[in-house]
Amino acid sequence: MSKYFLSIDQGTTSSRIVIYNTKFKVIDSLQKQLKQYFPKNGWVEHDALEIWRDVKLLIAKIIKKNRIKYSQILSIGIANQRETTVMWNKKNGIPIQKAIVWQDRRTDNFCKVLREKNLVKKIQKITGLVVDPYFSSTKIKWIIDHNKEAKKLIKQNNLLFGTIDTWLLWNLTEKRSHLTDITNASRTMLFDPQKEQWSDKLLKIFKIPKEILPQVTPNVYNFGETNLFDGGVIKISGMAGDQQAANIGQACFKKGQSKSTYGTGCFILTNIGKEFKLSKNKLLTTVAYKIGNKKIYCFEGTIFVAGSAIQWLRDNLLLFKKSKETNILYTSANPNENIIVIPALTGLGAPHWKPNVRGGILGLTRNTSIADIVKATLDSVGFQTSNLVKCIQKDAKTTIKEIRVDGGMTENENFMQSLANILQVKIIKPANSETTALGAAYLAALGAGFINSTESINKLWKSKKIFTPKIKKSTIQKKTKAWEKAVNLLVKYHY
């Protein structure tokens, strides 16, 4: 009888379930779009109950569709959008409000207070993170401060917090497991990754009770079992934040290896080994993974808006009907049009960390076409990545010669070539571009004892296509400087 692994890939814009066979080939994949809520300028929310209903429905549907018995599934792995904050009633399992998404900027004023109190270095020293609304801690504090039910439930010891991994696990195990893994914990701005514990110093600063927080585990662990699907018990053995899951799916296990994911946002991770090092160039230091007793750190650069800029061009400006059209539009753009797009739709991430900056399009002329704007938007993601690569190379004291890429945007080959041209490095697209779900499957397989080391994953990784620079370095440097000058102007305009 065939055996399988099931991956839950819960992202910012959709929930996806993938079934893999024991050779890690995709048997089937089902996906459902997730509704986005924007109640105020800079606010982004999700319905946590919708996320859970979608995941539960998709699991039941994919198993029935493929006529798989529950006993054939060796293990479940979970990957999730990070930092997004859910708080719920422990008794009835109902969230006390909509989840605050990682992109949400409502806590910017509180972050300013932290800066004014000179707490930035203290927080970075403990967590490896910069002070920004991006992370979970300020979102938790905001909910406690603004939600009357939160205060009441804290007094009753009936309030729970979790990022999406914890929320899904708690529901899958029918309230038995209130756990998170070390990669998700390291993104809360409450966790000390060196001591591997919630920081009492930070809990005091944010006035957050430790009792509401989940227990922290390695990425491979006995997270519990689910028997919700009327067909038997399934183990849950692997869990990681989506970017770390993609890093595992890309087999970036050696020091210096880098991967960059181009989905809703862009996230580049570079393996820096076993030593916790702080960035001097406004990058994040975070846990790449902990498997067994081996814990590896990485530098991370974050771009808040990447694929969501293309989604915005499609849905808000109605410039095209399907995202795949951007590949053709890119080719038809006028090379003499010097359009610059800065897609800061939810602020600027690393290395600027300017949550109040908003996007702009510069250099418009009477000749500017839809294709020109599309090309400039795609190129902007490359210019932002170039900024991050420079910072990583300074911090890690290394030269990045190749980057493994994944995510939906990598289907656009003109974007891939643009990326290679701008970065002047080798861009490697893997055989499986949806590496987040694959990374979760690998963790599940490790937890089930089907594979026994990261070396096994390394042997499974294969490249599909390699893109090398086709433009002179001097030519691209001029364009990069023009783009960076435009960003600086926009920052000054908004501040």
Q: What is the mean pLDDT of residues 471-486?
A: 89
B/e letters for 11-36, b = 16+ CB within 10 Å, e = fewer, are bbbebbbbbbeeebeeeebbebebee
Q: What is the mean pLDDT of residues 150-177?
A: 96
For residue 482, what are the CA distances in angstroms to 34, 204, 369?
37, 44, 20
* pLDDT for residue 318: 84
For residue 435, what are the CA distances in angstroms to 186, 192, 305, 408, 431?
21, 27, 20, 10, 9
* Phi–psi pair at 76, nearest 5 degrees: -110, 140
346 vs 219 pLDDT, higher one: 219
* pLDDT for residue 400: 92
* pLDDT for residue 231: 66
pLDDT in tens, 1-29: 799 999 999 999 899 999 999 999 999 99
* pLDDT for residue 236: 97
Q: What is the mean pLDDT of residues 185-190?
A: 97
Nearest to 340 by CA among 221, 486, 446, 225: 486
Q: Note whether 481 and 60 are within 8 A (CB).
A: no
Instruction: Give the max Cα distance, the chain.
Output: 65
Q: What is the mean pLDDT of residues 132-152?
A: 95
**Residue 376 confidence class, pLDDT cut points 50, 70, 90:** very high
Interior angle at CA 380, CA 385 and CA 265, nearest 5: 60
Nearest to 85 by CA among 35, 34, 46, 127: 46
**Residue 52 confidence class, pLDDT cut points 50, 70, 90:** very high
- Neighbouring-strand partners of residue 421: none
Class of residue 322 by CB neighbours under 10 A (exposed 0-12, middle 13-18, buried 19+): exposed
- Neighbouring-strand partners of residue 402: 426
The rounded distance, in Å, linking the Cα atoms of 156 and 449 is 41
Place of tokens 């294709």: 371
For residue 91, what are the CA distances in angstroms to 94, 163, 178, 247?
8, 18, 13, 36
pLDDT-wise least confident of 84-93, 209-218, 262-271, 441-450:
262-271
Q: Are strands 86-89 and 73-80 parallel, antiparallel or unpaired?
A: unpaired
* pLDDT for residue 474: 86
Q: Is the pLDDT of residue 229 over 60?
A: yes
* pLDDT for residue 418: 94
pLDDT in tens, 306-359: 888 998 999 898 888 888 899 999 999 998 888 999 998 888 888 888 877 888
Look up residue 4 and give its two tokens.
Answer: 């399988």
pLDDT in tens, 274-309: 999 999 999 999 999 999 999 999 999 988 888 889
pLDDT in tens, 420-437: 999 999 999 998 878 999
The rounded distance, in Å, linking the Cα atoms of 125 and 297 is 14
Q: What is the mean pLDDT of residues 118-144?
A: 95
* pLDDT for residue 494: 63
pTM to 2 decimal places: 0.89
The secondary structure element, H or E, covering residue 14 is: strand 14-21
In 38-176, beta strands by DSSP E: 45-46, 73-80, 86-89, 99-100, 159-162
* pLDDT for residue 495: 55
Q: What is the mean pLDDT of residues 464-493?
A: 88
Coil/strand/helix, residue 225: strand
pLDDT in tens, 235-288: 999 999 999 999 999 999 999 999 999 988 899 999 999 999 999 999 999 999
pLDDT in tens, 77-108: 999 999 999 999 999 999 999 999 998 989 99
* pLDDT for residue 349: 81
Residues 6+ away with beta carbon under 8 Å from 215? 178, 179, 180
Whole-number average pLDDT of the chain: 93
Q: Note whether 264 and 213 are within 8 A (CB).
A: no
Domains of the chain by start residue, with CATH: 1-495 (3.30.420.40)
Is omega for the bond preceding 209 within 30 degrees of 0, making it cis? no
